[in-house]
């Protein structure tokens, strides 16, 4: 039998040229935000076809600043999906506003646009659609509701750099789009994030807020706001910028791996993800649902003993302790789809460093469990 080492859920593919690129920065001695950050911003803005990209220290900082720059605070309500990474709702709490949860669609795991309007009140200021697992939300309804009720749209595209609905890139249709370069995403800076916008004034405010509230006028420094230090370092920017040069190949390879999963798991009881027509999924997570007769948590443990790292997909946020204690929402009644995805969802390994044969190995184990 072929010897295998443990297949983790995710490992970033850091190649020698990525390391060289970081080394170059280290040797230059210019470690904080500088030329590399600027290059990263320019290249991502050009790729997405947006006017401004602002690199920040992580994807949660991007969402936080997006809310602050939009003037959202105490007394305001912000609509968020019930299923996401907790950061999406945490930032709403952090600015003193109230997250209003909306259930997801089971097919896409994204916010159900049809359920948004009934949650809009006179206090609603913004919607944060999350392009979960690398699949863009159905934005048309969300954008038209935003227009009708004058709401700000902050796209949480942390998982979805490169994802498309039709010709539109995820993160580019709202007022602001937020991205993350955490190692669980397709390309990584270790920690890192980036905000995009087409609004000049918003971009300027964001640049000031990320850097202690400093504005430069005629080469002179002025402190015009109580800002943050949410800067990305050039070390981080160099790392992700180097990977970005092969981003198209990374996405294409992930498509290939996803098609292996579809092929291998087609005839099992596992519920496979679906991609609506004209959507480009980037497979940040290949998220399946385990059938009713299998215990998802036991399956995670079992897969580990077989040398495969798998994990649950995302939180049903209102069901997590902080939110349950604060809002006491009955999730089974209000967010059945998000709860189900949280309890039955399973993310399979899918990344650059995996081979076809690794994937088939994962599928063989899954097939045995589903049938046994
Ligand atoms: C990863 C992620 C974040 C947070 O990004 P960080 O860079 O880890 O702070 C926010 N929202 C979603 C949907 C994510 O997947």
* Each residue's pLDDT tens digit, 55-94: 999 999 999 999 999 999 999 999 999 999 999 999 999 9
pTM of the model: 0.97
Q: Which pLDDT band holds residue 356 (cuts at 50, 70, 90)? A: confident
pLDDT over 80 at 4, yes or no: no
Token pair belonging to 261 = 């999963």
**Strand (E) or helix (H) holding 65:** helix 59-69
Taking CA atoms only, the protein residue closest to ligand 1 atom 1 is 158
Q: What is the pLDDT of residues 18-46, one digit of tens each?
A: 999 999 999 999 999 999 999 999 999 99
H-helix or E-strand spanning residue 204: helix 200-210
CA of residue 58 to ligand 1 center, whole Å: 8
Which residues sit with their C-beta closer than 6 Å to ligand 1? 58-60, 84-85, 87-88, 130, 156, 158-159, 180, 182, 193
User: How far away, in angstroms, is 249 Cα from ligand 1 center?
Assistant: 23
Q: Please name the residue whose Cα sits nearest to atom 14 of ligand 1.
A: 158
Q: How remote is the CA of residue 134 from the centroid of ligand 1, in Å?
A: 12
Contacts of 331 (CB under 8 A, 6+ apart): 82, 316, 318, 319, 338, 339
**Among 61, 67, 85, residue to substitute to test ligand 1 (most atoms within 8 Å of Cβ):** 85
Angle subtended at Cα 114 by Cα 180 and Cα 127, rounded to the nearest 5 degrees: 40
Query: What is the structure's pLDDT at 120?
Result: 98
Q: Which atom of ligand 1 is nearest to the CA of 84?
A: 13
Share of the chain above pLDDT 70, in %: 98
Q: Determine the distance from the C-alpha atom of residue 298 to the mean position of all C-alpha atoms in its chain, rounded to a whole number.
A: 27
Cα 159 to middle of ligand 1, angstroms: 7
Ligand 1 atom showing the smallest separation from residue 193 Cα: 7
Distance 3 CA to ligand 1 centre (A): 35
What pLDDT was estimated at residue 372?
Answer: 47
d(CA 100, CA 232): 31
* pLDDT band at residue 105 using 50, 70 and 90 as cut-offs: very high
| Cα dist from 153 to 49, 69, 89, 119, 135, whole Å | 18, 12, 14, 15, 17
> Quick check: 316 and 331 in contact, CB under 8 A?
yes
Nearest atom of ligand 1 to the alpha carbon of 58: 7
Q: Which of 9, 59, 89 to mutate to test the pocket of ligand 1 (most atoms within 8 A of CB)?
A: 59
Atom 2 of ligand 1 has which residue's CA nearest to it?
Answer: 158
Segment 212-232 mean pLDDT: 95
Kindly state the average pLDDT of the residues 129-141. Answer: 97
Query: What is the reported pLDDT for 3?
Result: 64
92, 95, 210, 254, 358 from 78: Cα distances, Å: 7, 11, 22, 33, 42
The minimum-distance atom of ligand 1 relative to the CA of 88 is: 11
* Residue 113: pLDDT over 60: yes
Q: 154 pLDDT band (50/70/90 cuts)?
A: very high
Compute the distance from residue 309 Cα to the ligand 1 centre, in Å.
20
Q: In this predicted structure, what is the pLDDT of residue 5?
A: 85
Indicate the pairing of strand 124-127 with strand 176-180. Answer: unpaired
Mean pLDDT of 189-213: 98
For residue 371, the model assigns a pLDDT of 62
Supply the mean pLDDT for the chain: 96
The residue to mutate among 92, 158, 239, having the most atoms of ligand 1 within 8 angstroms of its beta carbon, is: 158
């Amino acid at each position: 039998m072929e010897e295998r080492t443990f297949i983790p859920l995710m490992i970033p593919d850091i190649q020698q040229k990525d390391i060289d690129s970081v080394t170059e920065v280290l040797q230059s001695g210019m470690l904080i935000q500088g030329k590399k950050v600027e290059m990263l911003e320019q290249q991502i803005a050009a790729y997405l076809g947006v006017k401004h990209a602002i690199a920040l220290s992580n994807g949660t900082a991007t969402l936080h600043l997006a809310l602050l720059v939009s003037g959202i605070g105490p007394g305001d309500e912000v609509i968020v999906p019930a299923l996401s990474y907790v950061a999406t709702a945490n930032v709403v709490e952090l600015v003193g506003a109230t997250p209003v949860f909306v259930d997801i669609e089971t097919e896409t795991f994204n916010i159900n646009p049809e359920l948004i309007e009934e949650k809009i009140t006179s206090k609603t200021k913004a919607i944060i659609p999350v392009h979960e697992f690398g699949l863009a939300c159905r934005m048309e309804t969300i954008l038209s509701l935003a227009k009708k009720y004058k709401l700000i749209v902050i796209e949480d595209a942390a998982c979805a750099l490169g994802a498309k609905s039709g010709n539109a890139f995820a993160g580019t249709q709202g007022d602001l789009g937020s991205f993350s370069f955490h190692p669980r995403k397709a390309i990584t800076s270790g920690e890192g994030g980036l905000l995009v916008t087409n609004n000049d004034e918003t971009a300027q405010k964001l640049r000031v807020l990320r850097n202690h509230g400093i504005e430069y006028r005629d080469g002179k420094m002025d402190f015009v706001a109580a800002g943050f230090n949410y800067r990305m370092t050039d070390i981080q920017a160099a790392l992700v910028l180097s990977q970005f040069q092969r981003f198209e190949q990374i996405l294409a390879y992930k498509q290939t791996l996803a098609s292996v999963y579809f092929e291998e798991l087609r005839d099992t009881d596992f519920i496979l993800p679906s991609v609506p027509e004209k959507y480009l999924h980037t497979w940040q997570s290949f998220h399946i649902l385990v059938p009713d007769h299998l215990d998802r948590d036991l399956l995670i443990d079992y897969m580990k003993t077989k040398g495969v790292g798998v994990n649950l997909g995302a939180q049903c946020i209102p069901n997590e302790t902080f939110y349950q204690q604060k809002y006491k929402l009955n999730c089974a009644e209000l967010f059945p789809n998000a709860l189900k995805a949280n309890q039955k969802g399973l993310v399979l390994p899918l990344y650059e460093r995996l081979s076809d044969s690794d994937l088939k190995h994962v599928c063989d184990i899954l097939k045995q469990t589903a049938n046994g």
